[in-house]
Structure 1
Amino acid sequence: MGSHSSLQVRAVALGLLLDGLSSPAVAGRLGIGSRQVPRWAMLAGVELAKGRHGGAVAARGLTGAGVGHGRRLSATDRAVIQVGLSRGLSRRAIAAMIGVAPSTVSREVARSALRYRSEVLYDARVADHRARAQRARPKARKLDLHPALRSAVVDGLNAKFSPQQVAGRMPVLFPTREDMRVSHETIYQALYVQGRGGLRHELTVQKALRTGRTGRKPQSKLPARSNRPWLDGARITDRPAEAADRAVPGHWEGDLVVGPGNSGIVTLVERQTRFVLLGRLPGTRDSRTVTDVLAGMISHLPTDLARTITWDQGSEMAEHARLTIRTGVHVFFCDPHAPWQRGSNENTNGLIRDFYPKGTNFNTITDTDLTETQRLLNIRPRQTLGFHTPAEKLDQLLTVLH
């Protein structure tokens, strides 16, 4: 059949795909490399079905001619174009034969002809399939065509990963699988646009996204609170410079997540690894109790992983000096109405609210449940960590320290 790179071979291969043969079957029949056929299909705009059956994805729901800015070309029109070009007729002559403007024929050939180096070959069947696929509605979607990828996406969403985290995690989990790649926008489309959110029916979690917010909340313009005595010498401006750029581990951000019945949990997030620690308050939120719980949470940490804690200006940390005496960990306080100064903790508290919505009485949450929540937060891939998990990053640190 001549050179494997010739357009005649390429046109035959594409025709076999349109007949329903799989890419490996076409390659075997024509005696060409297994990677050539998918590449030719991609260049020709012919989408291949995944799985053992293979073949081209059918162009659905379209007839030939239509009404629009001009008459759409039919399969018969394209066959006339192919014959006319093979006989050396001009674009104008071909256009007269099918009753369209010469520019219509020129655009059709420019858009759909197969090209290799200086060769140009127009194949009516391939061109018609490509045109139908481009106009088909609804479009064939990547997650519909790739069951393995769809399953991996569903698993990530069920683990409460965001679409962006699911997409970013794929190269980490499947570093050699180019077919296991998906954009976060594709996942959003599958959740909320395609088929009225068909992907959501496969999830075991109640909601796929933890927030419906479409933009950032504006920074507060409220005036600063009055000074509090426990802040003296412990403001964020007094915090060591090494804590600001996250280059040195052991600097934490903390806060309370509260509920009715004077219930609550203490949350700590390590600034470099984003590793999370959770501790339950025993039915009271006074400063002595909070500092005691904090001391217990960090007592098992290596010295190099327990340097500072950054907190807001809440009165629950009024006795932070007790914590420093017991553990050697210094506490520093953000500026008023500046939650972005401990943004990792703010983000984590939002994630926690996905597990425990507002109104949750933490006195009814078991220690087993809280431990499992902490585990899920620490195996959650983070974009800022290159879609590795906090647990993985902490393990790397501990290996270095030991």
Structure 2
Amino acid sequence: MVTIEDRVVIAAGLKAKLTLTAIAAELDRSVSVISRDIRRHRVGPAGYGPVSADSTARLARSRPQQRKIDADPVLAARVRADLRHSRTPRQIAGRLHLEAGDATVGLMGSSPDAQGRLVSHEAIYRWIYALPKGELARQGIMLRSKRSARQRRRPVGERSWDRIVGMVSIDDRPEHVADRKVPGWWEGDLIVGKGGKSAAATLVERTTRYTLILGLPQGKKADGLADALIDHLQGLPNFMRQGLTWDQGTEMARHASVTIAADLPIYFAHPHSPWERPTNENTNGLIRDYLPKGDHITSHQPYLDAIAAELNERPRAVLGYLTPREAFERLLLANVASTG
């Protein structure tokens, strides 16, 4: 079933004049599904509107269905708990299948036992959108999406920065990094607060999507960032310090000190090329749910650790619905076993 969130992406793609193939790839759906939904719900000169398309689709469903979640208190408790911790319907459904099929996988933090219950992500979406207006908020649930259409990208102007001495280009990074099979390769960047006066460093391990958020009491200053990176990374085992890819911001002017102290090679992406750090860019979007743009960013490390911990407890489809924490810990244990 095509969800309202899917239709928002479709509408944004059509507005941006993307091909149906590109829209389908972004949604991980077949082109025929996207084409059929557009054909069914395009309305005159106004074109395709996600809300009107979803309303039409709802009216077209002839048989009211008894909702599986409402009929099962155990399943309902699990779904509500996971939604409260910002897990998406796809993540919830995938994780339930993983727990039911793998006895070695335990419960995630704050998740009640589903006792083997299964539900599709489509059923969770149908349940969510059938609730009365305001009911989600009354249950303490806040969905991730806060806008009805994707923001259009604007041409990037010329950015000025002082050249960083001794930069090593991402072009010189080993080729095997691209397939994500070798752990220990990180992507990083800053998220900056109001007026550029506060900042935090974000790091994501490419294989497991394990996330770190580092407080920076000195804001964007290079010395403070170098100290934070060294403090948090030098304690990792060697196999988890293969390299770090960063933007060409002057905050990384002390990269040589980090490389020496933490034994961590640092590579720099090309200017205006966020797609060269895709995992970090996506994660920064998730972090902005907790640290919105325009707000002051705290340097209180326990608070930032709590945000990272919640992100690391979200099951990921790309990890077979393990959480980043579980995937990261499995690699650490495997390394101990192989070297012990």
1:186 corresponds in structure 2 to: 123
Higher relative contact order (CA 8 A, sep 6+): 2
> 5+ residue gaps in structure 2?
1-59, 103-113
Q: C-alpha displacement at 1:203, in angstroms?
A: 3.3
Q: Output the CA distance in 1 between the equivalents of 2:81 and 2:304.
A: 22
Q: Kindly state the Cα deviation for residue 255 of structure 1 after the two structures are TM-superposed.
A: 0.8
Query: Which deviations, in whole Å up to 9, do the C-alpha atoms of 1:80-126 show, x marking residues without a partner?
Result: xxxxxxxxxxxxxxxxxxxxxxxxxxxxxxxxxxxxxxxxxxxxxxx
Per the TM alignment, residue 231 of structure 1 is displaced from its structure 2 partner at its CA by 7.0
Give the superposed CA RMSD. Answer: 2.8
Contact 1:190 1:198 in 2 (8 A): no
Residue in structure 2 matched with residue 107 of structure 1 by the alignment: none
Residue 366 of structure 1 deviates from its aligned partner by 3.3
Q: Are 1:256 and 2:190 matched, yes or no? A: yes
Q: Which residue of 1 aligns with 2:324?
A: 390
Match of 2:229 among 270, 291, 294: 294
- Candidates 146, 167, 178, aligned match of 1:244: 178
Counterpart residue identity of residue 300, structure 2 = T
The secondary structure found in structure 1 opposite 2:289 is: helix
State the distance in 1 between where 2:161 and 2:197 align.
Answer: 26
CA deviations over 1:127-186 (Å, ceiling 9, x no partner): xxxxxxx98764322222222222211111111111211121111233388972222232
**Separation (CA, whole Å) in 1 of partners of 2:295 and 2:155:** 30
Cα 1:195/1:378, change in 2 over 3 Å:
closer
Alignment of 1:3-402 (within 5 A): 138-175=64-101, 180-191=117-128, 193-197=129-133, 200-201=136-137, 203-205=139-141, 207-212=142-147, 214=149, 222=156, 229-230=163-164, 234-260=168-194, 262-363=197-298, 366-402=300-336
Which whole-Å CA distance do the structure 2 matches of 1:209 and 1:398 have between them?
31
What's the TM-score, normalizing by structure 2? 0.70
Q: Return the alpha-carbon distance in structure 2 between the equivalents of residues 239 and 216 of structure 1.
A: 32
CA deviation after TM superposition for structure 1 residue 367, in Å: 2.8
Deviations 1:222-257 (A, max 9, x none): 477689632765111111112221111110000111
User: Matches of 2:197 and 2:70 in 1, distance apart?
Assistant: 48
8 Å contact 2:202–2:280 — kept in the other structure?
yes
Secondary structure (helix, strand or coil) at the match of 2:288 reads helix
Structure number, greater radius of gyration: 1
Size of the alignment, in residue pairs?
A: 265
- Paired with 1:321 and 1:360, the residues of 2 have a C-alpha distance of 31
| Separation in structure 1 between the aligned mates of residue 226 and residue 161 of structure 2, nearest angstrom | 21
* CA deviation profile, 1:312-351 (whole Å, cap 9, x unmatched): 1211112211211212211111122221211111111111
The CA distance in 2 between the partners of 1:299 and 1:343, in whole Å, is 24
In structure 1, distance between residues paired with 2:98 and 2:308? 22
Q: 1:373 to 1:388 in 2, by over 3 A?
A: same
CA distance in 1, matches of 2:118, 2:262: 46
| Counterparts of 2:122 and 2:147, CA distance in 1 | 15
